[in-house]
Structure 1
Amino acid sequence: MANLPSFFARLFHATQPTRDLDIGQLNGLEPDDEALLWIDLCDPSAQQVELVWEQCRLPAAARRFLADGSTTPEVGQEDQYLWVRCVVVNGRTRREAMSGTVLTCVAGPNRVLTHRRGEVPFMEELRRLGIAHTAIGGLSAESFVATLLDRQLATYFDAVSDYEDAIERLEVAILGKSAGDSLPELQRLRRWASRMRRMLAPHRNVFGAMSRPDFRPDEGRSADRHFVALDTRFERAMDMVENARELVIGSFELFSNKTALRTNHFMRVLTFVTVITGVLATVVGAMGMNFQADLFGSGDAGFWSVVAVLVAFAAGALWAGWRRHWF
């Protein structure tokens, strides 16, 4: 993030060339209905925030909302302005551990301000669109915010996709020879799923409030359709996250069953070896009885004959057990 400018402003226009602006050009700027001003603040200084707020004449309530430093998703509005706070999945760390970046959006008449303290991939992509991208100029501020929130939800879909890939690799490992080494990965994925749900679930109040008809009654049905679609997409994301938690539970059951099968296999081997050892011990014990049989007077030849018979018996028993898949 060291090479990423903390201030970025672009004026999109539907019929005129789109242009990037300096912070000094914001003073008194009033975009018309065919234009959209987007200001992106990435880890800005307090002085930059205050200057932007003053030049764009943004509401003080939105400034207090931004300054409270909370990470809980929340939405608010006042007169012609709305503001929303959400959490974006950090794309660089989601494969190791779930973490998020707080994204705050403030929208008013033909202007949108975004604020974040870390890199957000889809925001950097939007910065790189280039000044030739004029389609955004035809969007209202509410539609632009809905676009950003839709991309925010897409980060959770991407995280679930990565999670499912990790689950598949884990199950292949469990079914292979390294099942005993899978427990740490199971624990990591379980924490991953729980963290992902804790990050997404608090957004229910945000998308639920934005989808109500009384949230932005003056903006027409276009904004309503966008926000209702966002709420539906959020519910789909929640279903996928809940399913992800069930996947790791199923993987743990697979791990438990594989461990039980390995234990049963070892017990069968130990039982078979115990039977063979018991038979050999019985034979050796019988050879130690104090009867004056001719066999006990055969000397070294008799001793080595008995040892050979015992070894042959053990080898034959092991071969028969292997052939019958007893172990």
Structure 2
Amino acid sequence: MNASADNVISAVSESTAVVTLFRSCGNAETISLDQLGAHIDDDTLIWVEVRSDDMDILMDLTARLGVSEDLVSRLAARRRRPWIDSDGDQYAVCALAADHIGDLEFDGIPLCLLCGRNFVITLHQKPLTFLETLRDRESRRSQVGTLTADSFVASLLSWHLDTYFAAASDFESNVERLEESVLRDPANENVQGLRRLRKGASRLRRMLAPHRIIFTGMARPDFRPDACDRSEKHFRLLADQFERAMDVIENARELVIGSFELFSNQVALQTNTTMRVLTFITVVIGLQTVIAGILGMNFDAPFFKTHALGFWLAVGLMTALGVTAALLGRWRRWI
């Protein structure tokens, strides 16, 4: 790449908008904003990644690409929640990618996509790992140019759904660690862990469930009636992937219920063990009390005339009874 091309790439990076041109022959290059235009060759695909929430940048880009101003205005008003809309052969999608910020707290990163004939615009303010991974992979050898814009959008949304699978995997790891802690010692601090699990599972479901409007909408025949069969197939597969993601998130909620039941069972088992020991001790002490009561009866028996010897015999008998009962309890695992 020559020096002038390097200057173009540097300028694009500084403007927070990276424009990549993919060719069907497998080549990809970064171009400047000035090279964007309403006319795009059929054998190319342009991806514009806007790493900012500045709508002025988006308005400038969409004007260069001939995107409907009404569609861009609707996108600007709804870019904080899952949403989909179309205007002729162009459409916009707003989604929330899952981000595990730690301690079972999940955040939704807004990702907006604008798709038209042979171009796709992505808009996001916070970094998205899967977009960085995609760009790094395609910088070496790209096959994206062989895709249609619809298929590329389907790929991006599939990567977006993968963030929920990754979040669910992190969630399951935390569930396993908590259950191991519960099995070791069902202490009160595990209640706080269960609370975080419950909150995290609910948060993931609240983030993902509203996306149904996007994936079921894209899978309907009337969404892109003029699209090719390959694009329709990709949209249907995307809807299936969304349903699998919902199943995984629902399973996360069931894992929380299972962890709570494990905690309850462990607490109940610990309580039963404590009550069993207390009951056994009560029985032993009760037997010794019976012996002491008998010896305290006012009968003129020869045993009561043994003085100190009789006292120590009675103490020895009760001690032997206690030790024998303890050994029997340990052998039978009552205590």
What is the TM-score of this pair, normalised by structure 1? Answer: 0.89
- Following the alignment from structure 1 to structure 2, what is the Cα–Cα distance between the partners of residues 205 and 107? 17
Matched, 1:56 2:65: yes
Q: Does residue 310 of the first structure (1) align with residue 321 of the second (2)?
A: no
For 2:84, the equivalent position in structure 1 comes to 75
Q: Is 1:211 the equivalent of 2:238?
A: no
Q: Relative to structure 1, is the Cα distance of residues 33 and 94 closer, same or farther in structure 2, using a 3 angstrom cutoff?
A: farther
* Percent identity over paired residues: 38
- Does the 8 A contact of 1:62 with 1:106 survive in 2? no
Post-superposition shift, 1:29? 6.1
Tell me whether 34-43 or 140-149 shows the greater mean CA deviation: 34-43
**Inter-partner Cα distance in structure 2 for 1:222 and 1:208:** 17
Q: How does 1:18-29 map to 2 (within 5 A)?
A: 18-26=28-36, 28=37
Q: CA deviation at 1:45?
A: 3.0
Structure 1 range deviating more: 204-213 or 236-245: 236-245
Paired amino acid for 2:32: D
Q: Name which of 19, 22, 43 aligns with 1:9.
A: 19
What do the CA deviations read for 1:133-158 (whole angstroms, capped 9, x no partner)? Answer: 33111211111100001111111222
Shift of 1:179: 5.8
Instruction: Tell me, in whole angstroms, the C-alpha distance in 2 between the residues paired with 1:257 and 1:93.
Output: 31
Q: Which runs of 5+ in 1 are unaligned?
A: none
Q: Which residue of 2 aligns with 1:196?
A: 204
Quickly say closer, same or farther: Cα 1:64–1:148, change in 2 above 3 A. same
Residues 95, 162 of structure 1: 8 Å contact kept: no
Distance across 2 between alignment mates of 1:298 and 1:233: 90
**Structure 2 gap ranges (5+):** 1-12
**How many equivalent pairs are there?**
323
In the alignment, is residue 65 of structure 1 matched against residue 66 of structure 2? no
| TM-score, normalised with respect to structure 2 | 0.87
Using the alignment, how far apart are the partners of 1:156 and 1:44 within structure 2? 23
Query: Residue type of the partner of 2:318?
Result: L
Indicate if the aligned counterparts of 1:17 and 1:131 stay in contact, CA closer than 8 A. no
CA shift for structure 1 position 267 = 1.2
2:168, 2:252 within 8 Å by CA — same for their partners in 1? yes
* 1:48-77 deviation per Cα after TM superposition (whole angstroms, max 9, x unaligned): 233323333322123213321553311111
Calculate the aligned-residue CA RMSD, in Å: 2.4
Question: CA offsets, 1:294-325, max 9 Å, x none?
Answer: 44444444433332322221111111111112
| Cα distance in 1 between the residues matched to 2:70 and 2:134 | 27
The one of 15, 32, 42 equivalent to 1:33 is 42
Aligned equivalents of 2:296, 2:93: Cα separation in 1: 90
Residue equivalent to 1:154: 162
Q: Which range moves more in the overlay, 17-26 or 261-270?
A: 17-26
Code of the residue aligned with 1:7 in structure 2: it is A
Find the aligned partners of 1:4 and 1:319 in 2 and give their Cα distance. 80
